[in-house]
Amino acid sequence: MSTRQIKGLSNYKGFGFRKDWLEHFIKLGDDLWNTNTLGVPKYVALKIWLRESELTENNTLTPSGTVICEWGANDIKTWAIILNNLAYNSNIIKWYIQNTELGKAYSMEEIFIILGDNYSSSTKENGIKSLKETFRYSPIGTELGVGICEIKGNAVVSITRRPWANPEPLVILYSLYKFAEKSDGYYSFTLSYLCDETIERVGISPMQIFGITKETMKDKLQSLATDYREFISISFSKDLDNIDLKKDKTSLDVLKLF
């Protein structure tokens, strides 16, 4: 488990990224910031979630945000892309993905403890509340399997991370291009390299983000290499498991394939 301090743990003031907030943003667009429907603290949190999802920059839709918002808040690929981007930009989401095991139910007390001793209790409680709200009130939790909540009464008593049951191949392709772009243009790598979570690197493997097994990943890669040869090629033979992305393509180009 990582013991390094996580910056911005309480930036969201305990609010998660809720599906109805995204619906609210898609409906109102830039006019959202001229209203006060949610209240100031929630708008502050929403602005951060939108920015860290790469949907907005300076509170204005990004090119990728424009594409994603056209899909709508009911489309699972919307939330899969959002999750992928949050894994890089939201330190609490990144920490959770990189420091929890698949299939293990974590009580709130356990998460509180493994966050470490570098924070005040209120800061950790705010970070945990943001996770719980995101998992409970958006498809990131149950539908993507990132945080399946066990609820007793109205309280979340444990969270379990499970693999995305049916990963969309183009989301995986997008994730691979983000991996390459975050890795200073490292567009060629091996499946074995993607599988190795012990390597210190900026890029985060889609296998780790979505909890995908090596076998599932290999299957999706083969499908992508057949259907999108202009974006990806692979070589799985004997001891070789090379993956090559095309350097003239970008993650935004992948979004336009959906």
Place of tokens 């008593």: 157
d(CA 89, CA 49): 9
Q: Which of 232, 92, 93 is nearest to 82 (CA)?
A: 93
- Residue 238 has a pLDDT of 66
> In this model, does residue 4 exceed pLDDT 60?
no
Q: Is the pLDDT higher at 192 or at 32?
A: 192
Q: In this structure, is the dihedral angle defined by the CA atoms of residues 90, 96, 98 and 103, taken in order, positive or negative?
A: negative
Poorest-confidence range of 185-189, 208-212, 213-217?
A: 185-189
- Measured at the CA of 12, the angle between CA 199 and CA 31, to 5 degrees, comes to 115
- Residue 1 has a pLDDT of 46
Mean pLDDT, residues 44-72? 95
Considering the entire predicted model, what is its pTM? 0.94
For residue 184, name the pLDDT band (cuts at 50, 70, 90).
confident
Q: Which CATH architecture has domain 169-255?
A: Orthogonal Bundle (1.10)
Place of tokens 């300076």: 58
Give percent of the chain above pLDDT 90.
81
pLDDT in tens, 105-136: 999 999 999 998 888 999 999 999 999 999 99
Specify the DSSP element, H or E, that contains 208: helix 206-210
Mean pLDDT, residues 9-24? 92
* Every domain of the chain and the residues it spans: 19-160, 169-255
